[in-house]
Structure 1
Protein backbone atom coordinates (compact mmCIF):
# COMPACT_ATOMS: atom_id res chain seq x y z
CA UNK A 1 0.00 0.00 0.00
CA UNK A 2 2.92 2.37 0.65
CA UNK A 3 4.08 1.93 -2.95
CA UNK A 4 0.59 2.88 -4.13
CA UNK A 5 0.48 5.98 -1.96
CA UNK A 6 3.91 7.18 -3.04
CA UNK A 7 3.09 6.72 -6.73
CA UNK A 8 -0.32 8.37 -6.32
CA UNK A 9 1.41 11.36 -4.71
CA UNK A 10 3.82 11.59 -7.67
CA UNK A 11 0.85 11.57 -10.03
CA UNK A 12 -1.02 14.21 -8.04
CA UNK A 13 2.09 16.40 -7.92
CA UNK A 14 2.93 15.96 -11.62
CA UNK A 15 2.24 19.55 -12.68
CA UNK A 16 4.96 20.89 -10.38
CA UNK A 17 7.62 18.54 -11.75
CA UNK A 18 9.41 18.68 -15.08
CA UNK A 19 10.31 15.62 -17.14
CA UNK A 20 13.95 14.58 -16.72
CA UNK A 21 14.50 14.64 -20.48
CA UNK A 22 12.09 17.37 -21.44
CA UNK A 23 12.14 18.71 -24.94
CA UNK A 24 10.29 21.35 -26.87
CA UNK A 25 9.22 18.69 -29.37
CA UNK A 26 7.64 16.53 -26.64
CA UNK A 27 5.94 19.55 -25.10
CA UNK A 28 4.44 20.48 -28.48
CA UNK A 29 3.31 16.91 -29.10
CA UNK A 30 1.59 16.75 -25.72
CA UNK A 31 -0.22 20.03 -26.43
CA UNK A 32 -1.32 18.65 -29.80
CA UNK A 33 -2.39 15.33 -28.26
CA UNK A 34 -4.48 17.06 -25.61
CA UNK A 35 -6.18 19.19 -28.26
CA UNK A 36 -6.80 16.32 -30.70
CA UNK A 37 -10.35 16.26 -32.00
CA UNK A 38 -10.15 12.91 -33.75
CA UNK A 39 -8.94 9.55 -32.55
CA UNK A 40 -6.72 8.93 -35.58
CA UNK A 41 -5.00 12.27 -35.02
CA UNK A 42 -4.44 11.41 -31.35
CA UNK A 43 -3.07 7.97 -32.18
CA UNK A 44 -0.61 9.42 -34.69
CA UNK A 45 0.51 12.04 -32.18
CA UNK A 46 0.86 9.43 -29.42
CA UNK A 47 2.99 7.33 -31.79
CA UNK A 48 5.34 10.30 -32.21
CA UNK A 49 5.52 10.67 -28.43
CA UNK A 50 6.38 6.97 -28.03
CA UNK A 51 9.06 7.37 -30.69
CA UNK A 52 10.65 10.24 -28.76
CA UNK A 53 10.42 8.32 -25.50
CA UNK A 54 12.23 5.38 -27.13
CA UNK A 55 14.95 7.66 -28.49
CA UNK A 56 18.21 8.16 -26.65
CA UNK A 57 21.16 10.24 -27.87
CA UNK A 58 23.46 7.28 -27.26
CA UNK A 59 22.75 4.94 -30.16
CA UNK A 60 23.74 1.86 -28.14
CA UNK A 61 21.13 2.74 -25.49
CA UNK A 62 18.38 3.12 -28.08
CA UNK A 63 19.45 -0.18 -29.68
CA UNK A 64 19.43 -1.96 -26.31
CA UNK A 65 15.91 -0.68 -25.63
CA UNK A 66 14.74 -1.79 -29.09
CA UNK A 67 16.27 -5.23 -28.56
CA UNK A 68 14.63 -5.54 -25.14
CA UNK A 69 11.24 -4.65 -26.67
CA UNK A 70 11.81 -7.33 -29.32
CA UNK A 71 12.77 -9.82 -26.60
CA UNK A 72 9.59 -9.04 -24.67
CA UNK A 73 7.47 -9.50 -27.80
CA UNK A 74 9.22 -12.84 -28.46
CA UNK A 75 8.72 -13.87 -24.80
CA UNK A 76 12.44 -14.00 -24.13
CA UNK A 77 11.77 -12.42 -20.77
CA UNK A 78 15.04 -13.36 -19.07
CA UNK A 79 17.08 -11.80 -21.87
CA UNK A 80 14.89 -8.68 -21.85
CA UNK A 81 15.27 -8.30 -18.09
CA UNK A 82 19.04 -8.60 -18.32
CA UNK A 83 19.24 -6.04 -21.13
CA UNK A 84 17.00 -3.57 -19.35
CA UNK A 85 18.70 -3.95 -15.98
CA UNK A 86 22.11 -3.35 -17.56
CA UNK A 87 20.77 -0.37 -19.47
CA UNK A 88 19.28 1.14 -16.32
CA UNK A 89 22.48 0.58 -14.36
CA UNK A 90 24.27 2.79 -16.90
CA UNK A 91 21.43 5.23 -17.66
CA UNK A 92 19.21 5.54 -14.58
CA UNK A 93 17.41 8.60 -16.00
CA UNK A 94 16.10 6.82 -19.11
CA UNK A 95 12.36 6.83 -18.33
CA UNK A 96 11.31 4.57 -21.18
CA UNK A 97 13.77 1.87 -20.09
CA UNK A 98 12.12 1.89 -16.66
CA UNK A 99 8.72 1.67 -18.33
CA UNK A 100 9.76 -1.25 -20.53
CA UNK A 101 11.07 -3.15 -17.53
CA UNK A 102 7.85 -2.33 -15.63
CA UNK A 103 5.91 -3.75 -18.57
CA UNK A 104 8.03 -6.89 -18.44
CA UNK A 105 7.40 -7.29 -14.71
CA UNK A 106 3.67 -6.71 -15.26
CA UNK A 107 3.60 -9.51 -17.83
CA UNK A 108 5.43 -11.77 -15.37
CA UNK A 109 3.00 -10.94 -12.56
CA UNK A 110 5.77 -9.35 -10.48
CA UNK A 111 3.62 -6.45 -9.31
CA UNK A 112 5.97 -5.18 -6.59
CA UNK A 113 8.86 -4.87 -9.04
CA UNK A 114 6.51 -3.42 -11.64
CA UNK A 115 5.29 -0.78 -9.18
CA UNK A 116 8.85 0.27 -8.32
CA UNK A 117 9.68 0.75 -12.00
CA UNK A 118 6.40 2.54 -12.73
CA UNK A 119 7.09 4.93 -9.86
CA UNK A 120 10.53 5.66 -11.30
CA UNK A 121 9.04 6.14 -14.79
CA UNK A 122 6.50 8.64 -13.47
CA UNK A 123 9.21 10.44 -11.48
CA UNK A 124 11.21 10.91 -14.66
CA UNK A 125 8.30 11.52 -17.06
CA UNK A 126 5.18 12.72 -15.21
CA UNK A 127 3.21 12.67 -18.50
CA UNK A 128 3.85 8.99 -19.22
CA UNK A 129 0.29 7.89 -19.99
CA UNK A 130 1.45 4.29 -20.55
CA UNK A 131 2.91 4.07 -17.05
CA UNK A 132 -0.20 5.71 -15.60
CA UNK A 133 -2.44 3.14 -17.28
CA UNK A 134 -0.30 0.21 -16.16
CA UNK A 135 -0.36 1.54 -12.60
CA UNK A 136 -4.14 1.91 -12.81
CA UNK A 137 -4.49 -1.70 -14.00
CA UNK A 138 -2.52 -2.92 -10.98
CA UNK A 139 -4.72 -0.82 -8.71
CA UNK A 140 -7.83 -2.35 -10.29
CA UNK A 141 -6.42 -5.82 -9.69
CA UNK A 142 -5.98 -4.93 -6.03
CA UNK A 143 -9.55 -3.63 -5.73
CA UNK A 144 -8.44 0.02 -5.48
CA UNK A 145 -11.10 1.37 -7.87
CA UNK A 146 -11.01 5.01 -6.76
CA UNK A 147 -7.23 5.22 -7.04
CA UNK A 148 -7.38 3.45 -10.41
CA UNK A 149 -10.00 5.94 -11.60
CA UNK A 150 -7.70 8.78 -10.56
CA UNK A 151 -4.69 7.34 -12.43
CA UNK A 152 -6.81 6.62 -15.52
CA UNK A 153 -8.32 10.13 -15.42
CA UNK A 154 -4.84 11.68 -15.33
CA UNK A 155 -3.84 9.48 -18.29
CA UNK A 156 -6.96 10.64 -20.15
CA UNK A 157 -6.12 14.27 -19.43
CA UNK A 158 -2.89 13.67 -21.35
CA UNK A 159 -4.23 11.35 -24.06
CA UNK A 160 -8.01 11.73 -24.48
CA UNK A 161 -8.42 8.63 -26.66
CA UNK A 162 -7.20 5.84 -24.38
CA UNK A 163 -10.00 3.33 -24.88
CA UNK A 164 -9.29 1.17 -21.82
CA UNK A 165 -9.01 4.18 -19.53
CA UNK A 166 -12.28 5.58 -20.88
CA UNK A 167 -13.97 2.18 -20.44
CA UNK A 168 -12.90 1.92 -16.81
CA UNK A 169 -13.85 5.52 -16.03
CA UNK A 170 -17.28 5.04 -17.59
CA UNK A 171 -17.92 1.68 -15.91
CA UNK A 172 -16.74 2.73 -12.44
CA UNK A 173 -18.55 6.00 -11.95
CA UNK A 174 -18.51 6.96 -8.26
CA UNK A 175 -22.25 6.26 -7.90
CA UNK A 176 -21.72 2.74 -9.26
CA UNK A 177 -18.90 2.14 -6.80
CA UNK A 178 -21.21 3.07 -3.94
CA UNK A 179 -24.00 0.75 -4.96
CA UNK A 180 -25.35 2.44 -8.04
CA UNK A 181 -28.03 4.83 -9.05
CA UNK A 182 -30.10 7.29 -7.10
CA UNK A 183 -31.83 6.64 -3.77
CA UNK A 184 -35.13 6.20 -5.61
CA UNK A 185 -33.66 3.27 -7.55
CA UNK A 186 -33.34 1.20 -4.36
CA UNK A 187 -36.75 -0.26 -3.69
Structure 2
Protein backbone atom coordinates (compact mmCIF):
# COMPACT_ATOMS: atom_id res chain seq x y z
CA UNK A 1 0.00 0.00 0.00
CA UNK A 2 1.34 3.45 -0.88
CA UNK A 3 2.36 5.50 2.13
CA UNK A 4 2.67 2.42 4.35
CA UNK A 5 6.22 2.23 5.67
CA UNK A 6 7.16 -0.36 8.24
CA UNK A 7 9.51 1.12 10.82
CA UNK A 8 12.05 -1.48 12.06
CA UNK A 9 11.16 -3.26 15.30
CA UNK A 10 14.26 -1.76 16.95
CA UNK A 11 12.70 1.68 16.42
CA UNK A 12 9.16 0.82 17.57
CA UNK A 13 9.93 2.61 20.85
CA UNK A 14 11.73 5.89 20.31
CA UNK A 15 12.63 9.13 22.03
CA UNK A 16 12.56 12.33 20.01
CA UNK A 17 14.82 15.28 20.78
CA UNK A 18 15.04 18.46 18.77
CA UNK A 19 16.75 21.80 18.34
CA UNK A 20 13.28 23.16 19.28
CA UNK A 21 10.93 20.79 21.10
CA UNK A 22 7.94 23.06 20.39
CA UNK A 23 8.43 23.78 16.69
CA UNK A 24 5.76 22.95 14.12
CA UNK A 25 8.14 20.54 12.40
CA UNK A 26 8.93 18.66 15.64
CA UNK A 27 5.20 18.23 16.29
CA UNK A 28 4.65 16.98 12.72
CA UNK A 29 7.47 14.43 13.04
CA UNK A 30 6.06 13.16 16.34
CA UNK A 31 2.61 12.91 14.76
CA UNK A 32 3.99 10.90 11.81
CA UNK A 33 5.75 8.56 14.25
CA UNK A 34 2.50 7.98 16.18
CA UNK A 35 0.62 7.33 12.92
CA UNK A 36 3.24 4.66 12.13
CA UNK A 37 2.72 2.97 15.55
CA UNK A 38 5.96 4.19 17.11
CA UNK A 39 5.73 4.60 20.88
CA UNK A 40 7.28 7.89 21.96
CA UNK A 41 9.08 7.84 25.31
CA UNK A 42 11.37 10.15 27.26
CA UNK A 43 15.07 10.02 26.33
CA UNK A 44 17.16 7.40 28.12
CA UNK A 45 20.53 5.76 27.56
CA UNK A 46 19.04 2.44 26.40
CA UNK A 47 16.29 3.92 24.16
CA UNK A 48 16.74 4.65 20.43
CA UNK A 49 16.66 8.36 19.65
CA UNK A 50 15.66 10.53 16.72
CA UNK A 51 17.32 13.94 17.06
CA UNK A 52 16.17 16.75 14.77
CA UNK A 53 19.34 18.79 14.27
CA UNK A 54 18.00 21.77 12.32
CA UNK A 55 15.56 22.99 9.70
CA UNK A 56 15.44 25.92 7.35
CA UNK A 57 13.56 27.34 4.38
CA UNK A 58 15.49 28.85 1.49
CA UNK A 59 14.16 30.86 -1.42
CA UNK A 60 15.42 31.65 -4.89
CA UNK A 61 13.96 33.49 -7.85
CA UNK A 62 13.21 31.38 -10.91
CA UNK A 63 11.82 34.06 -13.25
CA UNK A 64 11.22 37.81 -13.35
CA UNK A 65 8.52 40.15 -14.65
CA UNK A 66 9.58 42.83 -17.14
CA UNK A 67 9.87 45.31 -14.27
CA UNK A 68 12.45 42.96 -12.62
CA UNK A 69 10.13 41.85 -9.82
CA UNK A 70 10.17 38.15 -9.02
CA UNK A 71 7.47 36.28 -10.98
CA UNK A 72 8.21 32.73 -9.88
CA UNK A 73 10.01 31.61 -6.74
CA UNK A 74 11.35 28.29 -5.54
CA UNK A 75 11.19 27.35 -1.86
CA UNK A 76 13.44 24.66 -0.41
CA UNK A 77 12.83 23.19 3.04
CA UNK A 78 15.90 21.45 4.49
CA UNK A 79 16.30 19.46 7.66
CA UNK A 80 19.04 17.34 9.19
CA UNK A 81 18.42 14.59 11.70
CA UNK A 82 20.26 11.79 13.46
CA UNK A 83 19.02 8.30 14.37
CA UNK A 84 20.86 6.64 17.27
CA UNK A 85 20.28 3.03 18.31
CA UNK A 86 22.09 1.87 21.47
CA UNK A 87 24.73 -0.81 20.79
CA UNK A 88 24.15 -0.49 17.02
CA UNK A 89 25.27 3.02 16.08
CA UNK A 90 24.32 6.43 14.78
CA UNK A 91 23.38 7.60 11.31
CA UNK A 92 22.88 11.22 10.21
CA UNK A 93 20.61 12.23 7.35
CA UNK A 94 19.53 15.39 5.57
CA UNK A 95 16.32 15.79 3.62
CA UNK A 96 15.11 18.60 1.38
CA UNK A 97 11.77 19.31 -0.25
CA UNK A 98 11.53 21.84 -3.10
CA UNK A 99 8.41 23.58 -4.42
CA UNK A 100 7.87 26.52 -6.75
CA UNK A 101 5.06 29.08 -6.85
CA UNK A 102 4.04 32.20 -8.78
CA UNK A 103 4.53 35.46 -6.92
CA UNK A 104 2.04 38.13 -8.01
CA UNK A 105 2.87 41.42 -6.22
CA UNK A 106 -0.74 42.61 -6.67
CA UNK A 107 -2.00 39.86 -4.37
CA UNK A 108 0.69 40.08 -1.68
CA UNK A 109 -1.54 39.04 1.23
CA UNK A 110 -2.92 36.00 -0.60
CA UNK A 111 0.62 35.01 -1.64
CA UNK A 112 1.79 35.27 1.97
CA UNK A 113 -0.94 32.84 3.04
CA UNK A 114 -0.15 30.58 0.07
CA UNK A 115 3.53 30.57 0.98
CA UNK A 116 2.72 29.60 4.58
CA UNK A 117 0.56 26.74 3.29
CA UNK A 118 3.33 25.57 0.94
CA UNK A 119 5.89 25.64 3.77
CA UNK A 120 3.52 23.65 5.99
CA UNK A 121 3.03 21.07 3.22
CA UNK A 122 6.80 20.86 2.74
CA UNK A 123 7.28 20.18 6.47
CA UNK A 124 4.70 17.38 6.30
CA UNK A 125 6.48 15.85 3.29
CA UNK A 126 9.84 16.05 5.08
CA UNK A 127 8.33 14.40 8.19
CA UNK A 128 7.00 11.51 6.09
CA UNK A 129 10.39 11.29 4.35
CA UNK A 130 12.02 10.77 7.76
CA UNK A 131 9.66 7.82 8.35
CA UNK A 132 10.54 6.36 4.93
CA UNK A 133 14.25 6.71 5.69
CA UNK A 134 13.80 5.01 9.06
CA UNK A 135 12.08 2.12 7.26
CA UNK A 136 15.17 1.80 5.05
CA UNK A 137 17.37 1.33 8.12
CA UNK A 138 16.29 -2.33 8.55
CA UNK A 139 19.24 -3.71 6.58
CA UNK A 140 21.74 -1.39 8.29
CA UNK A 141 20.43 -2.45 11.71
CA UNK A 142 20.63 -6.16 10.84
CA UNK A 143 24.21 -5.73 9.60
CA UNK A 144 25.19 -3.40 12.49
CA UNK A 145 26.33 -0.81 9.91
CA UNK A 146 24.83 2.32 11.45
CA UNK A 147 28.11 4.14 11.89
CA UNK A 148 28.74 7.58 10.41
CA UNK A 149 32.50 7.27 10.89
CA UNK A 150 33.04 5.21 7.73
CA UNK A 151 31.09 7.54 5.43
CA UNK A 152 32.84 9.60 2.74
CA UNK A 153 33.46 13.33 3.02
CA UNK A 154 30.48 15.68 2.60
CA UNK A 155 31.21 16.32 -1.08
CA UNK A 156 30.67 12.62 -1.86
CA UNK A 157 27.32 12.15 -0.13
CA UNK A 158 24.87 9.58 -1.47
CA UNK A 159 21.77 11.27 -2.83
CA UNK A 160 18.37 9.60 -3.17
CA UNK A 161 15.73 11.32 -5.30
CA UNK A 162 12.15 11.02 -4.09
CA UNK A 163 8.78 12.19 -5.33
CA UNK A 164 8.10 15.95 -4.87
CA UNK A 165 11.79 16.78 -5.37
CA UNK A 166 12.67 15.31 -1.99
CA UNK A 167 16.36 14.54 -1.59
CA UNK A 168 18.01 12.58 1.20
CA UNK A 169 21.70 12.74 2.03
CA UNK A 170 23.66 10.47 4.36
CA UNK A 171 26.67 11.64 6.34
CA UNK A 172 27.86 14.18 8.90
CA UNK A 173 26.84 17.71 8.09
CA UNK A 174 28.63 20.80 9.35
CA UNK A 175 26.49 23.48 10.94
CA UNK A 176 25.49 25.78 8.13
CA UNK A 177 23.39 28.84 7.53
CA UNK A 178 20.04 27.86 5.93
CA UNK A 179 19.85 28.76 2.26
CA UNK A 180 18.50 32.23 1.65
CA UNK A 181 19.67 33.53 5.04
CA UNK A 182 22.15 36.37 4.68
CA UNK A 183 25.47 35.62 6.29
CA UNK A 184 26.91 38.36 8.49
CA UNK A 185 30.59 39.19 8.62
CA UNK A 186 30.71 37.63 12.12
CA UNK A 187 29.35 34.35 10.69
CA UNK A 188 31.90 34.40 7.88
CA UNK A 189 34.75 34.99 10.35
CA UNK A 190 33.69 31.98 12.45
CA UNK A 191 33.79 29.70 9.42
Q: TM-score over 0.5 for the alignment?
A: no
- When normalised by structure 1's length, the TM-score is 0.25
TM-score, normalization by structure 2: 0.25
More helix by share: 1
Higher strand share: 2
